Amino acid sequence: MTHPDTYILNATSPSRLGTVDVVTRYLREQGCYVADMQTFDDARAGQFFIRAEFRRPQEQAFDEEAFRSGFAGRAADFDMEWRLTDRSRKPNVVILVSKFDHCLNDLLYRYRTGQLAIEIPAIISNHPDLQRLADWHHIPFYHLPVTPETKAEQEAQMWDIIRESEAELVVLARYMQVLSPELCTRLEGWAINIHHSLLPGFKGAMPYHQAYQKGVKLVGATAHYINDDLDEGPIITQGIQPVDHSHYPEDLVAKGRDVECITLARAIQYHIEQRVFMYQGKTVVLGS
């Protein structure tokens, strides 16, 4: 349960003596109570990461701008990059989807029940199939069909909706289109994709049927930030599910979909809780 007056301060800086102290001392001076804190020092890279979840003081007014201004000077002494987030604020999330409904349905359930503290101002799809699901949740649904000839125009429309929705995160909930390099660049660091993860890696059509033929023993999923390398973006989290010889291809598909739902929701949760740091092309996830 999250206290209603909770804020998150997360920061990264070069590894130096006093990096924890500069955060905790300032919070103490402001009368803030630290409810949760995680740190990580990357000894190889010489980079320090910290996430502090704190409650603002109850006996006095909390001036967020004054807090920011005061901490900025302290942080500058440590070459610290930082951000302050009000834990109660729900970010706008735009969801992209095609025909598969399992991830979308799971996210909408978590949204409806409050498990995911987000707002969903728009769902965008290149197919009309999931219109009724969006309508049931009273969420605007945009059907933007795409062909190779209309891809640039369709992505321009998509980008306009994302901007007009004031989205802070874009989620590809099994959106089965490859985004252009231009759109990937625009969305880098704030768009999450989900896809299956099988060992060995089975690509192309019907990967679960290929896995069945090889007697695969694990199915899984990977949630990552998108970039211009297809399914190669910085990984946020992964999930696995054991399987065995008794699982036919249809069973593997079902297991895989379950893992995809859980893994995608977990990645979104980490992102909105400000647990994810991007550094040197990979992620550091604190308190996962």
Q: What is the C-alpha to C-alpha distance for residues 281 and 235, in angstroms, rounded to an integer?
A: 10
**284: nearest Cα among 5, 2, 6, 12:** 12
**The two structure tokens encoding residue 45:** 């890279």
Q: Among positive and negative, which fits the CA dihedral 139, 143, 148, 151?
A: negative
Helices (H) and strands (E) in the chain — how many of each?
A: 8, 13
Please compute Rg for the chain using Cα positions.
21
Sheet holding 92-97, edge to edge: 141-143, 119-125, 92-97, 169-172, 191-198, 218-225, 235-242
Q: What is the C-alpha to C-alpha distance for residues 104 and 235, in angstroms, rounded to an integer?
A: 20
Q: What is the C-alpha to C-alpha distance for residues 191 and 188, in angstroms, rounded to an integer?
A: 6
- 51 DSSP 8-state letter: E
Contacts of 238 (CB under 8 A, 6+ apart): 197, 220, 221, 222, 223, 263
Residue type, 115: Q
Catalytic residue among 42, 101, 228, 231: 231
- Active site includes 79? no
**Which residues are annotated as catalytic?**
231
